[in-house]
Amino acid sequence: MKETLLHMLKAKENGYVSGQEISNVLNCSRTAVWKHVSELRSAGYEIEAVQKKGYRLLRSPDAVTPEEILSRLKSEKLGKKVVYHTSLKSTQEMAHLEAAKNAEEGVLVVADEQTGGRGRLGRSWHSPAGTGIWMSLVLKPRIALQKAPQLTLLTAVGVVRAIEKETGLAADIKWPNDILLNGKKIVGILTELQAEADQIHSVIIGMGMNINQKKEHFPEDIAAIATSLSAESGKEYSRAGLIAAVMLELEELYKVYLKDGFGLIKLLWESRAQSLGKRITARNLNGTLTGFAKGITDEGVLLLEDDEGMVHSIYSADIEI
């Protein structure tokens, strides 16, 4: 009901919709219409009510609800079904459940807040309410297991392109899963799989994007390494608009990827990667390696040449430049 009402108000663009028209469409009393309007107001919508004219939508909140996302979505498949919760422990967890229930490809789980958002290796991801994008996308590519890391790189390219188109800000990619703006992290990507032997059932791509947080919103432990689009530019952005832009970019890249393979995505990735050709230190569970970042393989694996000229394949690590 609320969704239909919102749809009617939005369709009128600055005009009034009469209470009678709403009560006809929703098939409810005028008092019930008033109740729905009050509910929307408490969800942050500014709605004007004028006698004999009706209701007019003045402002929508910066919400990441299905209504706000779907009204902006231009992709055909990705993000067409949004599973939304105001607060979740982790959208990854919920997306795994959706995937296990055999959800169709493109289902997107979104939460306004995460109470137990996670990064790689059990690290935590700070996900406060109202300011960022915390979402997990379910994909079902028919690809070999060892190619899954390519999807992290594809996602990074898609997110950078979407940010640039929506905000004009040029971000860089740091292998394998970070997106940086002015040297600080604005986005983290977490790719997880549901697979059996060498057969992928689902890939769950988690994206954490810092959008409208102020500098002082970041907790002390990450304040020096993290930032948001807003903290860097001084502007505020529509989170739902950014989600829709990310879905469109990802859909375009994913189509190319499924049809022609990783080649073009690799080129696009390389043109945005800030660590290539530089001296870097890679830390992972196997230890620490320092050397020259030569490039990535067709599988998305990082090649690091050490000071003895030996080339190492790095599958996963934290990188310092």
Q: Which positions make up the binding site for biotin?
A: 114, 118-120, 185
Q: Which residue in 143, 222, 264, 289 binds ligand BT5 (CB under 6 A)?
A: 222
> Whose CB is nearest to ligand BT5?
188
Calpha distance 304→280 (Å, rounded): 8
Q: Given candidates 226, 253, 268, 296, which one binds ligand BT5 under the rule CB under 6 A?
A: 226
Name which of 95 and 200 has its Cβ closer to ligand BT5: 95
117 binds ligand BT5 (CB under 6 A): yes
- When asked if residue 126 is in the footprint of ligand BT5 (CB under 6 A), the reply is yes
Under rule CB under 6 A, residue 149 binds ligand BT5: no
Among 125, 254, 257, 262, binds ligand BT5 (CB under 6 A): 125
> What count of residues does the chain have?
321
In the annotated binding site, the residues are: 114, 118-120, 185
Contact 207, 118 (CB under 8 A): no
123 binds ligand BT5 (CB under 6 A): yes
Nearer to ligand BT5, 33 or 99 (CB): 99
Rg (CA), the chain: 22
If binding is defined by CB under 6 A, does position 65 make contact with ligand BT5?
no
CB of 206 to ligand BT5, least distance (A): 3
∠ CA 172-231-267 to the nearest 5 degrees?
10
Least Cα distance to 231 among 263, 183, 299, 273 occurs for 183
CB 229 within 8 A of CB 163: yes
Comparing CA positions, the residue from 120, 79, 105, 234 lying closest to residue 167 is 234
CB of 232 to ligand BT5, least distance (A): 13
Pick out residues in 179-218 that bind ligand BT5 (CB under 6 A).
185, 188-190, 206-208, 210
Measured CA distances, 62 to 21, 187, 188, 208, 272 (Å): 27, 19, 21, 17, 29
Q: What is the DSSP letter of 232?
A: H
Site string for ligand BT5, 76-105 (x = CB under 6 A): --------------xxx-------------
Q: Per CB under 6 A, does 114 bind ligand BT5?
A: yes
Q: What is the phi/psi pair of residue 140, to 5°?
A: -135, 65
Smallest separation, CB 204 to ligand BT5 (Å): 9
- Listing from the earlier edge strand, what are the strands of the sheet with 302-305? 311-314, 302-305, 287-296, 279-284, 318-320
- Phi–psi pair at 173, nearest 5 degrees: -105, 135
Binding to ligand BT5 by residue 118, rule CB under 6 A?
A: yes
134 binds ligand BT5 (CB under 6 A): yes
Residues that bind ligand BT5 (CB under 6 A): 90-92, 114, 117-121, 123, 125-127, 134-136, 177-178, 185, 188-190, 206-208, 210, 222, 226
